[in-house]
Structure 1
């Protein structure tokens, strides 16, 4: 990006996309964080290597005096008074007109970049505690997409067995419930709850970014970017609006023997030409990220929390046969809630996003077949007669009610299926 090998390598390694997230997550912790880091480096080069400020000096200032005055005015805040207005004589009035953000622009941009990266770092650190090895599963699924037929069959079989182990599809533990989420060891909702919390952190971060931006620039409205763009479109420049002024005033004192001489000099802040364009772009970019993150967060909560949404998604992965998967006899809901659980549905979505729909359909179909073979007499919902089994929680019925893959119109792969 910058043409500097060390910096390019550091940026690519730091903001490296992960396999266990979606495109909107990467919009925040990769794209936005990289943009802010790039702007921070660019402003730092101009500010500390180039000439950030130049001041008009009295004739009596010679040599080092001019350099001292410019350094002092850059470190100390300058103040902006419109050209058509009279410079106030009161020191307090001048202090009220001070602007001091330009010295801190690189540091604040770097902090904002870190804040966009922080939710991803927390997610990468905590998901491992839930016992799901998302990167391994998704990486293997991505590799299977381009594999030959025999390698693909063997890989699907091994991957399905591994997914069953990490999802604990046969666990019968007791659990507590809060709405649609079950809490307890191995109950398959901890990772989903964590991921929703991370999504809310991404959303809250964008709101906090707007607050930081407005406070930092001294604006009281969240529509600062829109107003600034409207001013520029109407031809109202910084001389009247006072937004990122290029020409400011600076007060400083010089001691000569026992006397203190006070000077007011006029300075040019060349750095504000960069700051204006950068922050105007950042404001509109934050609006885009906010809208995208808000919609994505709502959709994620809906997809993982609402039973019908999860059932419909798994039903779409299992569709493609000659039977109608919406038939109420088929235990899609039980497989989704007790086989895959919330975490399994989340994993299927990650695989779908990174490895494609075909690989995801094959994996989900194999998981479903294994689930039916391990529990073939799951209670069907039908209008016929059924008798109670001697085993608690099991319904007996005619043999045609057994859930075989062929009867359900599933894609039946020709490789071995893991047995209970």
Structure 2
């Protein structure tokens, strides 16, 4: 077993709702940093955590029911007498669920998220756009198409926007819909495209608004991911920017970062800090940012009220991920008491996809040279590869991951797009 980087003074058990890749990398962080096992509550036994030596998986097919979920969580706490339960989620659905159940949890439970109304406001794409406008943070020109707006009103609602437009669902209920041709993010070249998309989504059961934005030019390599930590006073204590090299192009997952290297910015952390302080945010926040190749403007796209799906890029850079949460929310200490935040400039690579596949899509010659240097140095983190968790199921999970992404890119994104 590897030696933990940090210690802790209050017995606790991390409990994570979900079962995605981010669930495993969060469990990996708890084990690597503090030497503790994570309890994962999921409907089934997901491949991301199956056979893991650092995870205790609790199956709860009825976890969508509040009473069943609460009973399960209380049972976990009962079995870990004398421990605090640090309750977390790795997607917005679980984070909002946890925040909504906060008042029904007893003193054994710790919820490291802001109040639900604040989460809902900043997670809502319209609400986030409005906040950016209030604070003066660059954000793509955004309009909302109300659910009940007649098609005849669309030209007036979109007046002044330049096509093509990026179209997203404004309500999180969209994530639960399943239909042929579903896209997390869609691009519409003209009004007819938008009308057709809206009819398709409505026909599939979507009843929320659409968020429509002007498209900022540039390919995947113009994207950035920013993670910040705000303490319970609302002070932004730390932030780290990653330079995205490749995003997911599966229509259902489009836009999720798949490969990240060290990024630098003179303004992104400060802009995010102004926004978060103004809102009164606490805990982790994750931002998607795109740099306009025409003038270098950093446009903030959205805020995720949690560690992002690719938060393990922080581990690749040598930063603690979970220790600040434990310090502040479990131990009632300063979040960075005795915590080394890691180097700021060392080069590294975090990649969900196989590195040879990544190289196919990196078009910038300097970045390709940089990748080769990083590979020679060995500073490459593949999220499913963890030396102390190398059983057969774990090797199989990594193999399935690599085959999945190789197949998906061959299907959905055969050649890199830079414009």
The two structures have a TM-score, normalised by structure 2, of 0.19
Say which structure, 1 or 2, has more relative contact order (CA 8 Å, 6+ apart).
1
Asked which structure has the greater CA Rg, the reply is 1
Answer 1 or 2: which has greater helix percent.
1
Answer 1 or 2: which has greater strand percent.
2
